[in-house]
Structure 1
Amino acid sequence: MAGLSQGRSYRRQLFDEIFDFSEDDSLFTEDVEEDESAGDQDMNEGGIRAVANTNAIEEGPLTGMLFPCISTMFNFYKEHARLKGFSVFKRSAVNVRGGSRKYQTISCDKGRKAIGAKSSKRINCPAKINAILRENGMWQISKVISSHNHELEPSMSRLMVAHRSLNMDMKRRLEANDIAGIRPAKSIRLLEVQAGGPENLSCLSKDCRNFIERKRRLRLGDGDAEAIRKLFVRMQRNDPEFFYSFDLDDDSRLSNVLWVHPRSRAAYEEFNDVVSFDTTYLVNRYKLPFATIVGVNHHGQSILLGCALISHEDVNTFKWLFMTWLEAMEDVHPNSILTDQCESMRKAIREVMPNTRHRFCLWHILCKVPEKFKGVTDYDSACLEFKAVIYDSLTIEMFERNWNEFVVKHGLERNEWLSKLYVDREYWVPIYLNHTFWAGMVSTQRSESMHAYFDGYVNSMSTLKQFVEQYEIAMCDKNEKEFYADFKSKNTVVNCISVFKWEQQFQKAFTNSIFKLVQEEIKRMWYCHVIQPTEEGRREADNEPGIERHKIMEKSIINNWFRREFVYDVEYRENGQYFSCNCKKFESKGILCCHIMRLMSLKDIKFINERYLLRRWRKDVNRVHSKKFFHGGYPHMTEEFEKYREMERLFQEASDLAYDDNKIKFVKQRLAELKRDLLSWNDGMIAPTSNAQVTIDTNNVDENEENERVILNPHVTRSRGRPRINRHRSVREITQRANSGRNRNSGRGRRRGRPRNNINSNIAEQVYIYFFKSVLMLFISFFFRYFM
C-alpha cells in the first residue's frame, strides 16, 4: 500500500506540474465527492459564453474555457494562431484505462527541441494549452501559456502547414482535371485565377500537387503493370473485340504490351493498304518506347491501327510486335509499310511480312545531309543538288545517271554513308517506290504528328495506367474529329473551280478534304502545256494503234526569279479509257495528276472512268468503323464527384428558374434553412427517399477470375543511340555545343536517340575546372623553374 500511495503521489505531482491542477481536484482520489449538477451548470454556462463571444478567438484561449470535443478546441486555437501569426499542433494525449483519451496538449509548432545539427523550425517555444476531459464529456482548458520565444508574423500565416488546407470543392476540381488529363500546373493556375490570386488560396501549389499524387496512387491501387492488366480485362469484358497481349520475362515482369481497339480493327478492314510504324516516342515513367501503327482514313487523316509499349528495340521484340498485331488483324498483311532506317525493323518485317513493300523515311535521311556533307567544298550547292537528284529524277535511268554525276562532281566516291544509301536505294528513292500506293506518305511524319498529339495528354512522368487512360481520351478526341469530318463532307459542298463535268464527279464522290487536293491539281493544270509530237513520234504512234502518247510540259514556279520545266510522258488508251503518267501520282497517292487532267481537257472527256474514283477516298461508302464508339477504357469521374455534380446540377436548374428578386430571396431563405439542418444533422435523422434507379458499377468487377499471375512493373529501359559522354570537355567545345543547342525545340515527348546533355547548367562548373587546372599547371611549372 505504501508503494501504491507513493506512486499515486508522484503521478499527482507530475500532472500538477503539467496541467496545473489544484489540491482539491478529485482526479486521483475517489473518496472526494462534488456537486456534479452545479459544476456542470457552471461549466456549461462558462463554456458557452467563452465560445460564443466573437472576440474570444482573437483574445485566445483562457483557463476554464469549455469545448465539446478536441477538434473544436483545436480549431479554436488554430484560428487564434492564424490571426496572431504562428502555427499549432497536437503535442501529446494521455489515455486512461479502456483506451479513452483524457488529457490533451496543443503547442506552438516550434515548441519541440531541435534534432542535431539539421536545420529545423524547432526552437522549444513554450506556448501551449493543456486540457482535461471532465466527467460530463466537456473538455476544459486547465493551463495556458501564451508567451513565445520568436517573432509572430500574421502575414505569413497562410504559408504555415497548420493553416493550409484544400476544401472539398478544390479537391473535386483537381481530381476531375487530373482524370481529364489537364496538367497540374494549369489546374492550379485556374484555382488561383478563380480565387483572385495565389495569396487568396488556402493552400500552396505543392499542396495541390501532393493531393493529385495521392489520388493517383489511390486510383492506381496495385502495381503499375498489374493495373494495366486489370484495365484491359475490364475493357475486353465491355467489348470482346478489344484485343490486348502481354509479353513477360522470366521474373513475371512486363516487357512488352500491345493493344488494339475494336474501332481500329474495323478501320483496318478498309484501310489496310499502307501503314506507318514508328518507335520514337518515350513519354512515360519507365522510358518505354511507344510504338504506333498509323494508317490513313478516307479524309486523309491519321488513324491509329494499333499501339504498343516495348522494352527493347531488337529483332525479337519487333517480331513479337508484328506477329501479335497481325493476330489481332486476322493475319491480313498491309500492302506497304513505312519506317525509319532501323536494321532490326527491316529484318523483322522481312521475316514476318515478306510480301509487304517496305520503305524508309525520307525525312530522316535528308536530316543527316548537313552532317554527312560537312567536308564537301561547295557545301550549299551539294545539298541542293542531292535533293534534286532524289526528287527530279523521272526515271530509274535518269536517277542512276544523276547520282553518278553528283558523286563524281563533289568527290564523294568514298563516302560510306552515300554508298550504303545507294545500296538501299530501292527502300527510299521515290522513283523506285512510286508504283506502289502510299497515300501520299514519304516519311513517318504521320506517326510523329500522332506523337505530338499525345503531348497534350501525357508527360515524362506518366505511369503506364495514366498513359493508357490518357491515350483513351486522345483516341476519343481523334474519333470525334473523324466523325465531324464525315458530317462536313455529307452536309457541306465545296464549290467547283472549273466547268469540267469530271470535276463534278470528284465533288460528288470524294470527301471534302480529298476533293480539295483534286482542285489543287486542277489549278496546276493551267501551267501544263501539250508539246506537239515530232515526225518520229507520229510514226511510232502509227505503229501502235489505240495507244496515244503525249508529252506534257509543266512549268514549276520556284520563286519570282527561278522556274523549272519538266516534261512528262502521258499515255492514253481510248478503249477502256486508261491513263498513265510517269509522275505516278495516281499510283502512289490515288489522285489523278494535273498532266492527265490536261490531256483530258485536250480530248474533251466529259466523265472519268469509275476506276479513278478510289473507294478509299469516297464519302458515299458505308464504313463499319465509323459507327463504332468504344469507351471501355475512357476514364470516368469518381462516385463522390458524380454525386456532387448531381447536387450542383439541381442547384443550377433552381437558380435558372429564380429570375426575379422574390424568387431569389426564396431560394436564399431555403438554402439558409438547409444549411442549418445540415449543421444540426445527426445519425438518427432519416433523409427523404425517392425511387432511384439501381446501377451496377462495372469498375468493381473482379479481374482476378482469370487466375493470371501478377504482372510486375517493367525496368527503366534505355533507347537506341550513342551512350552519354562522361569525359571532360574543353571550354571551346562546351561553348560550341551550348550555342548549337540554344535553338533546339523542346517538346514534352522525348525522341529516341542520343540522350540530351544538360550542357547549359554545367558550363560554369566545367569552366571553373578548366581554369583551376590551368592555374595549377602554371604554378607547378613556375615552382620547378625557380626553386628546383
Structure 2
Amino acid sequence: MDVETSNKETTGVGDAEVVIDENKESEIIEPKVGTMFNSVDEIYDFFRNYGYHMGFPVKKRTTKKSIDGILRYVTFTCGRAGKGESSSNNLVKPPTCQIGCKVKLTASLCGENKWRINTVNLEHNHGLCPSQAAYFRCNWQFGKNKKMKPEGGSRGANENVSNMERECKSCSEIETLLQLGEGDAFAMQEFFMKMQTRSKDFFYSMDLDEDGRLRNAFWADGRSREAYKEFGEVVYLDTSFLANKYNIQLTSFVGVNHHGNLTLFGCGLVSSGDTGTYVWLFRTWMECMSNRAPEGIITDQDTAIKIAVEVVFPTIRHQWCLYHLMKKMPEKLGELYDSISTSLQEVVYDTQSPTEFEQSWNELVEKHGLHHDEWLTGLYNGRDRWVPCFVKSNFWAGISATKRDDSINSFFDGFVNSKTTLKKFFVEQYDKALKSEVEKESQLDFRSFAKTVPCITTYEMEKQVQRVYTISKFKEFQKELTGKMYCDVISIQEGFMVSEYHIREDIVIGEAKKRMRFTISFQKNDCEVNCSCLMFQFGGILCRHAIYVLIRNDIMLLPDSYILSRWRKDVRRYYTRVKINDSWSATPEQLQYDELCLAFAKLAHWVAGDKESCRHVLEWINNQKTTLATKRLSCESNPAQK
C-alpha cells in the first residue's frame, strides 16, 4: 500500500489502483476474474473489505501446496458456507450460522509472487446486513478498514476497531476452542438446562465457530442479575483462575455488597485472551444486564482487555488493579526491586496529587537510572489507570487496593484451583461457592440487625452511623473517627464561603513512623467537606481528616450526603429473596415472597381479560404501596417502631 497524501490511501487491486478518500465512503470494488494481487493476505484483505461493505463474513476455506511445499491455491468463502451439522464430540451444540452459502472466490499462484483470481461466485442464499458487519469475527480479528467503528459510535481514540486491534500484542489466525475434558461438555449442558429449568431469570450464551464448536461461554443466575442492580456501579473482572489442565480460564464479574464482601455478577469460560474474545464476553454480559453499563470497571493490566473495554464501554472509567500490579513488581524488576521497593511504594501510595506523583516518579527514575525499563515506562504512560491519586477522585466502592496492606480476593477462593475440572466445577463447586456467599451474607445481615458493636466515643455521629450501617462498614467509620486523635491542625485559611484546613497526621507503617499533610476544604453553609486523601469519594466512608474538621466546627451529626444507602443495613434488597437452588433452605421471608408471587400471578391471570377488574386491582395495589411506603419511612426515621 502506497501513501500518496496525508489523507488519502492507494489500495492495489490487480494492476489498477483505486484512490480512497478517508473523508468519503470507500468505493466498493467487486471481485473480478483475472485481477492480480501480490500475496494471499492481500486477497483476503480485499475480499474481507468487500464483504464488510456488502454485509457478509469471509473466511479462508481451503489451501493447497505443491510438492515443493509452496502454497499455490486458496479458496475464500462466505462465512455462512458449509453444512449446519457439527462433527464435534462436544455435546453443547446450539444453532449454527452455516446454511450452505455458495459464495466463493478462488485464486492461484501465477508467476513469481503474483496471485490471480480464477473463479468468483457472489450469489448468496441469505440476506446481507452491512450495518452489522463490524460484528463479524473476521472484521474484529483482521480488520484493516478505516471505516469500521465500534459499538456505541464513539470517536477519537476509539474511532475504529481495526486500529485498536493492531495494538494487541498477538492476534492469531488460528481460532481457539474450549478444550473440554471427559464429561465436561455433558456437565456444562446439564448445568445450563438445570439452572434454566429452576429459574426463568437464568441467562447463558455460547460463542461458536463456523463449525458449531464451542469457543467461549457465559452465564449468570437470577440472584447475580438482581444483585447487579443494587451494587453494579463498579465491577471487578477476576481472571485469576485457570480451570484444569486444559488451560480454560474462568472469568468472573464481581462487585461489592453492603458488607464490603464480593458478590457475583456472572461468569465466563474463555479459550483465549485476545481482544475479540473479551469483546464477545463484555457484550454478552451487557446483554444479560439489560445493557446497563457500570460506572467503572477494574481489570488486570492487559492490552486485549483494555481495547475491548474501549470498544464495548467507551464512556466508563477503566482502572488497572493496583494489588496485582504491585505483586508483579518483584518479578518484573528482579534484584533491583529490593533496593527501590520502599521508595517506589512511597511514590505510589503517599503522593496526593498527579503533579506530586509525576515529580516523585521522575526523581525515582532519575536516581536509579530506570529510563530504559520498558515495563515501568508502560506503567507510567498508563498512570491514570492505576495510581491512587489519579483514580481516587471517583467512586470505586473500595474494591481496588489503595493502601499497602490492601488485597483483593477472588470470589471462588477455596472452591477452584488449577486441578479443578470443569465437570467438578459445574456439578459441585459453583453451587457451593454461591451457597457460601448467600449464607455468609445472611449471617452478616442477621448479625448487623441482632447485634450492636458498642460505641467507643460520646460523639453523636458514631451513634448515628451505628444505627444505620452494617457492622463491617460501621467499624470502618469507627476506625476513622478514633483515628482523628492522630490529626492536628497546622494552619487554617478562613474564606468568605470556604475555609481551608491544613492537617498533619502521625502515621505508622510497619515499624516506620512518618507525618503526612492533608488539605481539607469546608463549606459551612452547605456543610460540605472535601479532603485531599479522597477517601470518601473512593470508598464511601468519611475520612478522619474530614471528621476532625466537622467536629471542630460543631457539626455533631453527619449530613445525609455522607450516609450512603449501599452501606445501610435497613434497606430491603430484592436480590436477597431470589433463590438459586431448590435444595437450599429458604428463609421465612423468601417463602413468604414466593407465596405472594404465586398469588399475584394467579390474580393477574384471572383479571387480565377484564379491563374493569384490572383497574380495581391496580388501584388496590397502588394504595397498598402508598400505605407501606409511608410506614417504612416512619420506621426508618424512628427505628424503635420496628
Question: Which TM-score band (shorter chain)?
Answer: 0.5 to 0.7
Given the alignment, which residue of 215, 224, 229 partners 1:255? Answer: 215
2:570 is aligned with 1:612: no
Q: Taking structure 1 as reference, are residues 579 and 468 closer, same or farther at Cα in structure 2, changes over 3 Å only?
A: farther
Contact kept? 1:294, 1:446, Cα under 8 Å: no
Contact kept? 1:276, 1:446, Cα under 8 Å: no
C-alpha distance in 2 between matches for 1:375 and 1:630: 49
Paired residue for 1:498?
A: 457
C-alpha distance in 2 between matches for 1:581 and 1:614: 18
Contact kept? 2:243, 2:422, Cα under 8 Å: no
Deviations 1:365-398 (A, max 9, x none): 223333444465xx64422111111111111111
C-alpha distance in 2 between matches for 1:348 and 1:312: 13
Paired residue for 2:430?
A: 471
Paired residue for 1:546?
A: 497
- State the Cα distance separating 1:272 from its structure 2 match: 0.9
C-alpha distance in 2 between matches for 1:463 and 1:248: 18
- State the Cα distance separating 1:611 from its structure 2 match: 0.9
2:447 is aligned with 1:488: yes
Deviations 1:548-594 (A, max 9, x none): 1111110102355x321111111111112111001000000000000
Deviations 1:394-440 (A, max 9, x none): 11111111111111111112222221111111111111100111122
Paired residue for 1:269?
A: 229
Q: Taking structure 1 as reference, are residues 559 and 269 closer, same or farther at Cα in structure 2, changes over 3 Å only?
A: closer
2:238 is aligned with 1:287: no
Contact kept? 1:284, 1:464, Cα under 8 Å: no
Paired residue for 2:383?
A: 425
C-alpha distance in 1 between matches for 2:454 and 2:374: 53
Q: Secondary structure at the match of 1:523?
A: helix
More helix by share: 1
- State the Cα distance separating 1:454 from its structure 2 match: 1.5
Given the alignment, which residue of 447, 453, 456 partners 2:414? Answer: 453
C-alpha distance in 2 between matches for 1:346 and 1:306: 20
C-alpha distance in 1 between matches for 2:584 and 2:204: 16
Contact kept? 2:415, 2:432, Cα under 8 Å: no
Contact kept? 1:272, 1:334, Cα under 8 Å: yes
Contact kept? 2:503, 2:545, Cα under 8 Å: yes
Paired residue for 1:734?
A: none
Paired residue for 2:472?
A: 513
Contact kept? 1:572, 1:578, Cα under 8 Å: yes
Q: Taking structure 1 as reference, are residues 337 and 406 closer, same or farther at Cα in structure 2, changes over 3 Å only?
A: same
C-alpha distance in 1 between matches for 2:486 and 2:328: 34
C-alpha distance in 2 between matches for 1:503 and 1:441: 24
C-alpha distance in 1 between matches for 2:198 and 2:335: 61
Q: Taking structure 1 as reference, are residues 623 and 612 closer, same or farther at Cα in structure 2, changes over 3 Å only?
A: same
Given the alignment, which residue of 309, 312, 318 partners 2:269? Answer: 309
TM-score if structure 1 supplies the norm length?
0.49
C-alpha distance in 1 between matches for 2:540 and 2:351: 21
C-alpha distance in 2 between matches for 1:466 and 1:368: 28
- Residue identity matched to 2:503: I
Paired residue for 1:669?
A: none
Contact kept? 2:483, 2:544, Cα under 8 Å: yes
Aligned residues: 403
2:392 is aligned with 1:434: yes
Q: Taking structure 1 as reference, are residues 227 and 453 closer, same or farther at Cα in structure 2, changes over 3 Å only?
A: closer
- State the Cα distance separating 1:285 from its structure 2 match: 5.2
Contact kept? 2:241, 2:418, Cα under 8 Å: no
Given the alignment, which residue of 526, 538, 557 partners 1:576? Answer: 526
C-alpha distance in 1 between matches for 2:390 and 2:384: 5
Paired residue for 2:177?
A: none
Percent of counterpart pairs with the same letter? 39
- Residue identity matched to 1:399: F
Where structure 1 has 5 or more consecutive residues not aligned to the other structure, the ranges are 1-219, 636-788
User: What are the residue-to-residue correspondences of 1:70-469 with 2, within 5 Å?
Assistant: 224-284=184-244, 286-374=246-334, 376=336, 380-443=338-401, 448-455=409-416, 460=419, 462-464=421-423, 466-469=425-428
Q: Taking structure 1 as reference, are residues 607 and 353 closer, same or farther at Cα in structure 2, changes over 3 Å only?
A: same
Contact kept? 1:273, 1:336, Cα under 8 Å: yes
Root-mean-square deviation (CA), in Å?
A: 2.4
Paired residue for 2:598?
A: none
2:506 is aligned with 1:555: yes
- Residue identity matched to 2:490: I
More strand by share: 2
Contact kept? 2:507, 2:515, Cα under 8 Å: yes
Q: Secondary structure at the match of 2:297?
A: strand
- State the Cα distance separating 1:300 from its structure 2 match: 0.5
**Structure with larger RCO (C-alpha < 8 A, sep 6+):** 1
Q: Secondary structure at the match of 1:630?
A: coil
Contact kept? 1:239, 1:632, Cα under 8 Å: no
- Residue identity matched to 1:435: S
Q: Secondary structure at the match of 1:451?
A: coil
Deviations 1:169-217 (A, max 9, x none): xxxxxxxxxxxxxxxxxxxxxxxxxxxxxxxxxxxxxxxxxxxxxxxxx
Q: Secondary structure at the match of 1:294?
A: strand
Paired residue for 2:146?
A: none
C-alpha distance in 1 between matches for 2:505 and 2:322: 25
Q: Secondary structure at the match of 1:507?
A: helix
C-alpha distance in 2 between matches for 1:311 and 1:446: 27
User: What are the residue-to-residue correspondences of 1:582-597 with 2, within 5 Å?
Assistant: 582-597=532-547
Where structure 2 has 5 or more consecutive residues not aligned to the other structure, the ranges are 1-179, 586-642
Structure with higher Rg: it is: 1
- State the Cα distance separating 1:459 from its structure 2 match: 6.3
- State the Cα distance separating 1:532 from its structure 2 match: 3.2
Contact kept? 1:228, 1:465, Cα under 8 Å: no
Q: Secondary structure at the match of 1:607?
A: coil
Q: Secondary structure at the match of 2:555?
A: coil
Paired residue for 1:8?
A: none
TM-score if structure 2 supplies the norm length?
0.60
